Chain A
Amino acid sequence: DAGITQSPRHKVTETGTPVTLRCHQTENHRYMYWYRQDPGHGLRLIHYSYGVKDTDKGEVSDGYSVSRSKTEDFLLTLESATSSQTSVYFCAISESSGRFSTDTQYFGPGTRLTVL
């Protein structure tokens, strides 16, 4: 998985509790992404980062916040988890945005989150 780890790999939590997922990379890639994957949907972008302290929203950012204080770490926080946030969360990294280049986006192993 190209030097990407996610923690925890599995988590069960209750509605209303805060949850933080961590993505750690050893590739020194500039871009980092958080996606969620649900049955019947493609991967959907939650937030992404284009550098330390530089982040932007994706298409499904409501209810999520992110932080990136170091190149290697990208945190996803659910401030108050809801059952609709039960999903598999993937972190990804890339050297550039992929908009004009063809560099590869590498994905982590995923975190399965269940909100009861």
Chain B
Amino acid sequence: KNQVEQSPQSLIILEGKNCTLQCNYTVSPFSNLRWYKQDTGRGPVSLTIMTFSENTKSNGRYTATLDADTKQSSLHITASQLSDSASYICVVYSSASKIIFGSGTRLSIRP
């Protein structure tokens, strides 16, 4: 069964600290993996897109990694800011025309 599981479900950290969010998937055949940021009351916004051959991609303070062998991805946030408070969603695209969303990690940054 195609699944995307994210951990932790929620996370609270202090402003300025780093954190890492995890995504494990069992989607096959794999095409690409995306991380989205969703602010409260808004639609998701794309942060990174990675294909099978890419193992690291950065977008400012956000760095995503992909291990296609173990079917794991992570999103690392450096020097967190209050504006990073949001839900982060891992999405896996299957080359069989399936889009599978994780249920997200809710991140709260405390001053």
Contact = CB atoms under 8 A, between A and B. Distances in A.
25 contacts: A1-B43, A40-B103, A42-B89, A42-B101, A43-B44, A43-B101, A90-B43, A92-B43, A98-B31, A98-B32, A99-B94, A99-B95, A99-B96, A99-B97, A100-B95, A102-B32, A102-B51, A104-B49, A105-B34, A105-B46, A106-B46, A107-B44, A107-B45, A109-B41, A109-B42
B62 interface: no
Contacts of B93: 98-99
Interface of A: 1, 4, 40-45, 90, 92, 97-100, 102, 104-110
Given A97-B97, A102-B51, A42 B45 contact: no
Interface residues of B, number: 24
Contacts of B96: 99
Contacts of B97: 97, 99
Interface of B: 4, 31-32, 34, 41-46, 49, 51, 89, 93-97, 99-104
Contact of A110 (B42, B51, B94): B42
Contacts of B34: 105
Given A90-B43, A102-B49, A42 B102 contact: yes
A110 B46 contact: no
B103 A41 contact: yes
B58 to A, nearest CB: 15
A30 to B, nearest CB: 14
B51 A43 contact: no
B43 A109 contact: yes
A1 B44 CA distance: 9
